[in-house]
Amino acid sequence: MTSETHYERFTSPGEDNKLQSFVHSTRGKIILTTVVLGVVGLVAGLIIRQGVSSSEPRHAQALTGDKVAPQPTSIEPTTWTPSPTTAQLKSHTSSPTSHEPATTSKPSSTTKAPTPAPTPSPIYGKINDNTPGTSGQTTNPKTFPNRGCKLPNYLSENGHLYAQAPNGTKIPIFIKGINWFGMETELNIPFGLWANPDNGTSLYEIVAFLSRHRFNSVRLPLTVDSLIKNTPPNPNVVNAYESPALNLTTYMSAVQSLVVAMGSKGISVLLDIHYLSDTDKGDAWYSVEHPASMTLNAIDILTINLCSDTYWNVIGIDLTNEPWNTTWGDNGAKDFRIGAALLGNRMLANCPSWLAFIEGNAQTHTITINGTVFDYYDWWGGGL
Ligand SMILES: *[C@@H]1O[C@H](CO)[C@@H](O)[C@H](O)[C@H]1NC(C)=O
Ligand SMILES: *[C@@H]1O[C@H](CO)[C@@H](O)[C@H](O)[C@H]1NC(C)=O
Ligand SMILES: *[C@@H]1O[C@H](CO)[C@@H](O)[C@H](O)[C@H]1NC(C)=O
Ligand SMILES: *[C@@H]1O[C@H](CO)[C@@H](O)[C@H](O)[C@H]1NC(C)=O
Ligand SMILES: *[C@@H]1O[C@H](CO)[C@@H](O)[C@H](O)[C@H]1NC(C)=O
């Protein structure tokens, strides 16, 4: 293993990568350095057997003047069209309103989807990984077992990660992780949970799949805007019957229930401030529409709601996804050395147990080889 922090990638060789850096907070705690390998969503590689290339087109690199400039996004979610899947889904997770008289105006959005008359068989969403699956699965659980863990002090020391118990014992952590995209889009929920007879899966199966393949960490892309507004997920892309433990009431309840589900199998979660909003990717940790105060607010929302023993498996926050057109150490307006310290210290103020993950600025460079000038770029998240 070349790195203790390794978020697995499932996609093409052209996919974005990220480098590592060190930042020291004023508290003297090393803010984590990491390699976060970029991924087109977990769904692309894992969940949907037929592939989702049409749903996750990547930006080509765009020409700006005579140079090729990197684009900030890994995926373009706005083209996602759930209609066929949603139609399938509705056939067995009837909307509560469909059972009410047309004249009834009382909203019943919190009503559980009724159980289909015949128990679905087989269970939808088994990931076709040439294993018999997880033994004992008869249906998807309404709750995931609480392992009774305490939130440890997650540490980064000398290039290694540790979980430290209150008595001082440190256990090294090695990460094999994935990105699970979706919550950073207008759907506000990870992709793939629409289990139907043809594709999609359930929260239980995702957790079971990751566990049986020894993945032990999930990076969860989020947006500042959805955290602040606590935007409820789009329920039409979730088969609530197959994932009853997923709480779709609010953005935060969805995150919390995902974290608990992962924790049941000892899988950690890295909260990723991926975009400022689903339409404002941002080059830095703020933009004109989303000032830094909003990002700080989003960090407070994460620490207030998730820094506790119930969510012991949250290891920290990736403070800004793939900064670009930023600088490092020039004291300018977009100096991410200042930005990372600002965000990281805000997190540590309310949750000293978490780690801050810092990505590097992606820049364009030139090199002259045998008299010819070539452009090249940092990896996404690299450039430190
Ligand atoms: C998933 O299944 C639905 C319903 O059968 C189908 O319309 C859709 O194209 C499938 N999606 C993918 C990505 O295979
Ligand atoms: C310290 O705490 C850990 C976690 O509770 C425990 O496994 C370990 O045995 C303890 N070590 C000592 C020396 O008490
Ligand atoms: C779902 O989340 C909401 C909002 O946090 C909470 O009020 C509700 O109790 C949760 N439901 C369950 C079943 O935990
Ligand atoms: C990069 O940032 C500078 C300073 O904030 C800004 O003027 C410029 O428009 C940005 N460039 C791009 C390509 O967004
Ligand atoms: C540079 O030119 C020399 C001499 O023609 C050649 O041997 C070498 O392979 C060239 N290097 C590159 C990187 O093209």
Of 110, 142, 203, 249, which is best to mutate to test ligand 3, by the most ligand atoms within 8 angstroms of its C-beta? Answer: 249
The answer to whether residue 61 scores a pLDDT higher than 90 is: no
Give the tens place of pLDDT for each residue, 153-210: 999 999 999 999 999 999 999 999 999 999 999 999 999 999 988 899 999 999 999 9
- Pick the residue whose CA is nearest to atom 5 on ligand 5: 370
Is the CB of 165 inside a 6 Å radius of any atom of ligand 2? yes
Residue 66 lies in a domain: no
Q: Half-sphere exposure (CA, 13 Å, Cβ side) for 8? A: 19
Residue 44 lies in a domain: no
Ligand 4 atom with minimal separation from the 325 CA? 1
Residue 165 lies in a domain: no
Ligand nearest to the CA of 372: 5
pLDDT at 17: 31
pLDDT at 140: 80
Is the CB of 50 inside a 6 Å radius of any atom of ligand 5? no
Is the CB of 310 inside a 6 Å radius of any atom of ligand 3? no
Residue 138 lies in a domain: no
**Cross-strand bridge partners of residue 314:** 269
Q: How confident is residue 101, by pLDDT bands cut at 50, 70 and 90?
A: very low
Give the tens place of pLDDT for each residue, 30-44: 333 333 333 333 333
Is the CB of 86 inside a 6 Å radius of any atom of ligand 3? no
Angle (deg, nearest 10), helices 251-263 and 292-306: 50
- Pick the residue whose CA is nearest to atom 4 on ligand 5: 370
Rg of the Cα trace of the chain?
Answer: 21
- For residue 314, what are its two tokens? 């949250």
Residue 322 lies in a domain: yes
Of 370, 372, 373, 376, which is best to mutate to test ligand 5, by the most ligand atoms within 8 angstroms of its C-beta? Answer: 370
Beta-carbon contacts of 99 under 8 Å, excluding residues fewer than 6 positions away, are 114
pLDDT at 129: 87
Give the tens place of pLDDT for each residue, 227-264: 999 999 999 999 999 999 999 999 999 999 999 999 99
pLDDT at 79: 31
- Pick the residue whose CA is nearest to atom 14 on ligand 4: 325
pLDDT at 110: 44
- Could you list the residue range(s) of the whole structural domain that residue 231 is in? 176-377
CB 142 within 8 A of CB 204: no
Q: Which string of DSSP letters, residue by residue, matches 162-223?
A: EEE-TTS-EEEE-EEEEE--STTSTT-S-TT----SSS---HHHHHHHHHHTT--EEEEEEE
Centre of ligand 4 to C-alpha 68, Å, is: 15
The CA distance from 226 to 254, in Å, is: 12
Is the CB of 369 inside a 6 Å radius of any atom of ligand 5? yes
Is the CB of 287 inside a 6 Å radius of any atom of ligand 4? no
Centre of ligand 2 to C-alpha 120, Å, is: 45
Q: Is 190 exposed, middle or buried (0-12, 13-18, 19+ CB in 10 A)?
A: buried
Residue 12 lies in a domain: no
pLDDT at 41: 33
- Pick the residue whose CA is nearest to atom 12 on ligand 4: 325
Q: How confident is residue 138, by pLDDT bands cut at 50, 70 and 90?
A: low
Centre of ligand 2 to C-alpha 169, Å, is: 6
Domain count, the chain: 1
Is the CB of 281 inside a 6 Å radius of any atom of ligand 4? no
Residue 266 lies in a domain: yes
**CATH number of the domain that 222 lies in?**
3.20.20.80
- Pick the residue whose CA is nearest to atom 4 on ligand 2: 165
Helices (H), the chain: 42, 83-90, 203-212, 224-229, 251-263, 292-306, 336-350
Centre of ligand 5 to C-alpha 157, Å, is: 43
Centre of ligand 2 to C-alpha 172, Å, is: 14
